[in-house]
Amino acid sequence: MAGTAYGTEASGVRASTPAEFANRDAFILTNGSGASRFPVRAGTDAADVGQALTLAESNALLEEAFRIMTRARAQIRTPLDSRAQVTISLVDSRGQILGVVRSPDAPVFGTDVSLQKARTVAFFSHPRAGTELSADPSADVRQFVPAMLNFLGNQNALSGQVAYGDRTIGVIARPYFPDGEVGRPKGPLSRDIAQFNPLSTGLQSALVLTNLGQHLGFVTGASATDTPSRCTFIPDAVPGQNRLQNGIQIFPGAVPIYRGSRLVGALGVSGDGIDQDDMISFLGTHNAGVRLGGFGNAPMAMRADQIVIPLGTRQVRLRYIGCPFAPFLDTAEQNVCQGL
């Protein structure tokens, strides 16, 4: 079967030009005719956040995350001590794409997953998260809102007062909480263990179930109308696009971005181990903020790891991110995310 060589313009993925991205090792997604599909740009949400991410800030976030990736020791590659290779996606608070870059050998699946991760944390950290989930036409989706608020013991947990990493969302989307302790209660975004499987996880799958049903009807001829070419039925943030346009992801590897205490975007990473993905997004955001000033990771007091869940005689703290041991190829530094 004839194919198209990866890395060529016709393949849709090729090396970036100096005008498209500063790092000469970066690849981008293209339209097959020479233009980047997702050129780096400023945020679109100034009307919502006051001061949206600027073009310079978007570039800095992607560049600094890419630099961390080039230094990071890969978890999933051979030979040992290979570098990590990932896709990095940046969005604003509306879920609009502000840029996508990838390393030459980053797994293809990370293109979609990194964007899901970024949109997931931007959504759950957004002041309208609870309102928009509660407006979904599916009662199954809507019931996850009170489940999450009650589980966290905070009725404002979906109104912009808590910053969520994607590790947090994953922890509370497992059929046992804490994850892996059999017999514990399910996380509030999960199905019960008897109904849980990789194709029916909880809120993640509930959000797209109607899309799947509509598409099944279309391909079988039962319906003349296909599902829209996007996911979920939460309200639009802007005409024609909601904040979860390609669904949510429950793997770690994304952090929200703040200007002071105001959410302005999110950075998602996919392609290596989940600890590496977490570190690249977290340190990339931190370093970009140090480089330019005025934005960065969520204030510590807002992060989801300030929430402690009582479980009988125990208390379990939620997790925000998790960075790996001995993460870099060029230093023996440890605890690289500590205190940031």
The angle that helices 55-71 and 274-292 make with each other, rounded to 10 degrees, is 130
Residue 310 DSSP SS3: strand
Residue 312's pLDDT is 86
Residues contacting 9, CB < 8 A, separation 6+: 30, 32, 33, 34
Contacts 24+ apart (CB under 8 A), 4-11: 7/104, 9/33, 9/34
Average pLDDT value for residue range 293-308: 98
Is the pLDDT at 332 greater than 90, yes or no? yes
Average pLDDT value for residue range 127-153: 98
Q: Which residue has the tokens 């997702």?
A: 38
Stated pTM of the model: 0.97
| 326 located within any domain | no
Is the pLDDT at 252 greater than 80, yes or no? yes
CA angle 265, 7, 117 (to 5 degrees): 25
* Residues of the domain holding 109: 12-317
**Cα–Cα distance between 16 and 104 in angstroms, integer?**
10
Residues 292/293/298/300 CA torsion (nearest 10 deg) = 130
Is the pLDDT at 1 greater than 70, yes or no? no
Q: What pLDDT digit, counting tens, does each position of 240-251 carry?
A: 999 999 999 999
Average pLDDT value for residue range 85-89: 98
CB neighbour burial string for 6-22, b if at least 16 within 10 angstroms, e if fewer: eeeeeeebbebeeebbb
| 214 located within any domain | yes
For residue 134, what is the DSSP state? H
Residue 269 DSSP SS3: strand
Q: What pLDDT digit, counting tens, does each position of 190-223 carry?
A: 999 999 999 999 999 999 999 999 999 999 999 9
Is the pLDDT at 145 greater than 80, yes or no? yes
Q: CATH no. for residue 104? A: 3.30.450.150
| 2 located within any domain | no
**Cα–Cα distance between 320 and 300 in angstroms, integer?**
10
**What distances in angstroms separate CA 338 from CA 1, 69, 146, 334, one per listed residue?**
50, 18, 33, 9
| 139 located within any domain | yes
| 203 located within any domain | yes
| 30 located within any domain | yes
The length of the chain in residues reads 340
Residue 3's pLDDT is 85
% pLDDT > 90, the chain: 98
CB neighbour burial string for 164-198, b if at least 16 within 10 angstroms, e if fewer: bbbbbbbbbbbbbbbeeeeebebbbbbbeeeebee
CA angle 28, 90, 203 (to 5 degrees): 115
Q: Which residue has the tokens 């099944």?
A: 216
Is the pLDDT at 150 greater than 80, yes or no? yes
Is the pLDDT at 174 greater than 80, yes or no? yes
Residue ranges of alpha helices (H) inside the chain are 46-49, 55-71, 110-124, 129-134, 139-142, 144-152, 166-171, 203-219, 274-292
Kindly indicate the confidence band of residue 111, based on its pLDDT and cuts at 50, 70 and 90: very high
| 137 located within any domain | yes
**Cα–Cα distance between 4 and 10 in angstroms, integer?**
7
Which residues partner with 14 through β-bridges?
7, 28
Is the pLDDT at 2 greater than 80, yes or no? no
| 23 located within any domain | yes
**Cα–Cα distance between 71 and 75 in angstroms, integer?**
13
Kindly indicate the confidence band of residue 167, based on its pLDDT and cuts at 50, 70 and 90: very high
Average pLDDT for the chain:
97
Q: Domain tally for the chain?
A: 1
